[in-house]
Amino acid sequence: MINKVVRSLKEAISDIFDGAIVMISGFGEAGSPIELIHKLIDHGAKDLTVVSNNTGSGHVGLAALIENRQVKKMICSFPRSANSKVFPELYHNGEIELELVPQGTLAERIRAGGAGIPAFYTPASVNTPLAEGKETRVFNGHKYVLEHGIRADFSLVKCKTADRYGNLLYNKTARNFGPIMCMAANTTIVQAREIVELGAIDPEVVVTPGIFVQRVVHVSNPADESKLVAEDRRYPW
């Protein structure tokens, strides 16, 4: 019998090891698996390389993971935002590495990693500092930059609905990086707002096929990150 549903957040993330590459879904707070991240803070794995579009807000979620000195390097497209305080400070002090990637290149590198494509050419970043030192090639008279696929040891993803096979549905713009990050990790760990019986999700509308998911944990009422930030909450509580 296949049952990817695990009983607890702790069980879901307990094998994340020091030095792991971890993808974390979300665009700002939308789609950020805050409960899985907080459990990873409790768990304590360090020297992580984190792939995520942003670097978190306030002192909760991804920002708290960074503040707890568990992240050695961030691979992202937009490491600052209105409420991001933690990353800028560590970056200025030289305490965290940054690999800055154009957002579409980041998405395609993750997709390629998941799809067995080691590298690809893209027009984004040609003639800019972000293409410096990278191989370029001309196709049909236009210049392109070689970018490499990314694979992760673990992906932490938030979704709306899951079944025990790991088939997933998302909610609105919280989908963002979730489906491609599910594809690109050796172990994909998903927190789902609801878990339904097999067959309850119409096969025609499954967004992430279960083959890309290894573990599902039920988090029925995930925290609202912007509220926690507005209240200046800090994790660990």
Partner 1 sequence: MVTDEKKIGWEMNEVAQKVALDIPDGSYVNLGIGIPELVAGYVPEGREVIYHTENGLLGMGPAPQAGEEDPELINAGKKYVTAIPGACFFHHADSFSMIRGGHIDYCVLGALQISENGDLANWSTGEPKAIPAVGGAMDLIAGVKNIFVISQHTTKTGDPKIIKQCSYPLTGKEVVNRIYTNLAIIDVTNDGLVVRELAPGVTFDYLQSKTEARLKEK
Footprint on this chain of partner 1 (rule: CB under 8 A): 27-31, 53, 77-82, 87-88, 91-92, 98, 100-108, 110-111, 122-130, 170-180, 207, 224-226
Residue 36 CB, nearest approach to partner 1 (Å)? 16
38 or 175: whose CB is closer to partner 1?
175
73 vs 78, beta carbon nearer partner 1: 78
Omega within 30 of 0 (cis) for the link into 236 = yes
SS3 call for 170 = coil
The number of residues in the chain equals 237
Report the nearest approach of partner 1 to the CB of residue 115 (Å). Answer: 9
CB of 55 to partner 1, least distance (A): 9
Maximum separation of any 2 CA atoms in the chain, in Å: 56
Give the shortest CB-43-to-partner 1 separation in angstroms: 26
Contact 198, 49 (CB under 8 A): no
Closest separation in Å from C-beta 219 to partner 1: 14
C-beta closer to partner 1: residue 98 or 195: 98
Q: Which is nearer to partner 1, 16 or 155 (CB)?
A: 155
- Burial of 160: CB neighbours in 10 Å, binned 0-12, 13-18, 19+: middle
- As to burial, measured by CB atoms within 10 angstroms (0-12 exposed, 13-18 middle, 19+ buried), residue 127 is exposed
Coil/strand/helix, residue 206 = coil
Q: Which is nearer to partner 1, 24 or 45 (CB)?
A: 24
List the structure tokens of 125: 């970043």
